[in-house]
Amino acid sequence: MFSPTALRPRFAKWLIATGLFLMLSGCVDKPNTLERVKEDGVLRVVTRNSPATYFQDRNGETGFEYELVKRFADDLGVKLKIETADNLDDLYGQLGKPGGPVLAAAGLVSSEKRKQQVRFSHSYLEVTPQIIYRNGQSRPTNAADLVGKTIMVLKGSTHADQLAALKKKYPGIQYEESDAVEVVDLLRMVDEGQIDLTLVDSNEVAMNQVYFTNARVAFDLGDASNQSWAVAAGDDNSLLNEINDFLDKSQKNGTLQRLKDRYYGHVDVLGYMGAYTFAQHLQQRLPKYEKHFKAYAKEEKVDWRLLAAIGYQESLWQPAVTSKTGVRGLMMLTQNTAQAMGVSNRLDAKQSIMGGAKYLAYMKDQLDDSIQEPDRTWFALAAYNVGSGHLDDARKLAAKEGLNPDKWLDVKKILPRLSQKQWYSKTRYGYARGGEPVHFVANIRRYYDILTWVTQPQLEGDQVAQGNLHVPGIDKTKPPEENPPL
């Protein structure tokens, strides 16, 4: 048998060793948020699916917030994982949940209420809240004019807080908060007269004003506010400090300004330039590239005039242009599309036309066999513009509405719904500027009709020949400048 006295020294040593181990273990700090992000190799971010924040187009993932937070993830050397929230309350609620997003980047404006839930970063964009009304209606000029109007804003937004504060002074102000809409929905509802007014930030107005020509700015409501990112509440400042350093650096090195110019510094003008300008370009620009359109259209078995019409819609037959979204060249190809089509230099007109012809043919080949001509061509054009994924979403929505998903006349009615939250939230690919492919196809069809007419071997009647070019029904008077919307 073992002697109890012999066991005591050994047991004492074990107790000492165990105690030391536990003491040392207790001294090891748990990794902070920034360390966990780097260890995982993933930055999880929650945002909104909207044109000013994050959405997918033919270039892939895009949006002001997406581009900025992607640069932050690259700086950290980690991958970016985007999640979208259904509404602002949901967005704030997701922060800090185990395994959930550690950062919210969604055009957020801090408020005393939200500061109790989260912590906000340094600001990166100054915006002004603006009252929006419908052109043709009485324009409100101050807060008192909001009384008696139908007003809707995003649920949980600082705009709702502003209206709540105003209501104390003007009890007659009535407004509705909705979590079933996004800003684009609010602007559309004003544009269509469904509501009298809404309150949105100036950057959202600038982003969407071209799509809603009846929606106008009535007046600025209050002072400018600052948009910031948000992290979970608590004492862990590791990620927040890194974010602030990044935003400060982006302000100094011009990154923020470049993004602001790209997304808010220009107003896209949808639609065609006008018959007068098109006639001028037919004579001055098309002859330089006509042989390339014909050659590559023949290779890909598409109509060269359709290919030329796409080139005009995309670049006005200018080979050295670059859009604000990064697509380049006469046929406005993305970098990924250019590489896939074998284009090494997007600014080379011949290569660009070759790539555009291949891409159009590819889009046509990808369509379901059930789609027949001429609808097949219009669907291919829409996919060329918005991407095949969003087009499939629209076709599925059309089928659910009892429309024919194989007919362009039916699907073009549905495509604009992809910019409305109540519809795009039900789709696979989410938000898209669904009105753009509708305009895109309509404009190209118009250019194509004119090109078809002017290239007929024989012309009937007494059409007027301008030089060696016949232009049908074109007003030779330069059209007056239109007043810009808003």
Q: Which residues are catalytic?
A: 314
Torsion of CA 363, 368, 373, 375, to 10 degrees: -80
Q: Using CA atoms, how far apart are residues 184 and 435, in angstroms rounded to an integer?
A: 12
Q: Using CA atoms, how far apart are residues 284 and 450, in angstroms rounded to an integer?
A: 16
Burial (CB count <10 Å: 0-12, 13-18, 19+), residue 440: buried
Tokens for 127, please give them: 């915006």
Q: Using CA atoms, how far apart are residues 443 and 313, in angstroms rounded to an integer?
A: 7
Q: How far is CA 411 from CA 382, 436, 449, in A?
A: 10, 13, 22
Angle formed by the axes of helices 375-386 and 349-366, to 10°?
A: 120
Q: How far is CA 246 from CA 121, 255, 260, in A?
A: 10, 10, 16
| Residue 62 phi, psi dihedral angles, 5° rounding | -155, -175
Q: Using CA atoms, how far apart are residues 253 and 154, in angstroms rounded to an integer?
A: 34
In which residue are the tokens 């908060």 written? Answer: 177
For 430: left if phi > 0, alpha if psi spans -120 to 50, otherwise beta; the answer is left
